[in-house]
Amino acid sequence: MISRYSTVLFLTLFIFSCGGEKSGEKSKKLPVLGHKKIENIEVDGEIKADTTYHTVPDFEFVDQDGSIITEGTFADKIYVSDFFFTTCPTICPTMKAQMLRVYEKYIDNDEVGFLSHTIDPKHDSVAVLHDFAEKLGIESSKWHFVTGDKDEIYEQGMKGYMVTAGEDDSAPGGFIHSGAFILVDKDRRIRGIYDGTVEADVNQLMDDMQLLLSEYR
């Protein structure tokens, strides 16, 4: 389920990303979301402002084929990330149906990847994730379903991608997670967060992916 925290965070990021545009003005580049740090540095004897943006931290998980997946797996790629669990009784089936739409559009684009983290690693073993991916009919080299240490997955969700992921006995299935699809650029910066249960939002994600890819051409 999508928590109140996720909704507030999403709205905050949306406002942050759109606040700099004038009315009726369409940005040619996607915003960079999250915290940023501005420092003055000296370049050729001149003091200039240098901006450091939030980036997704290093990670190491195991995918449905038993392969080690790290940030290096997505080198020179943009990718879409999300959080789920295979026994989810609420939003996960809708999310995966929507993610399949994105996957099918970009299946032949080597600059695009997909990364789905289980938040129930105790149940979602490599074998379970393999069966899950096989039923979806996806290529494992393109879309990685990963498992690993529970705390590391939760921390990566909250601090890395800025979305909710964790255990909650009161939630359906015993877990709570954001329904967000997170768009990450080739520099591991977050460039968009979209509701993965809403078709219109996912359409916007696909449009934004085209815009993001154009930045590298």
Three-state DSSP state, 203: helix
Give the model confidence (pLDDT) of 69-78 as tens digits: 999 999 999 9
Give the model confidence (pLDDT) of 3-61 as tens digits: 433 433 443 343 333 333 333 334 579 999 988 877 776 677 777 766 889 999 999 99
The predicted model scores a pTM of 0.82
Q: Which domains are assigned to the chain?
A: 4-214 (3.40.30.10)
Nearest to 32 by CA among 185, 217, 172, 147: 185
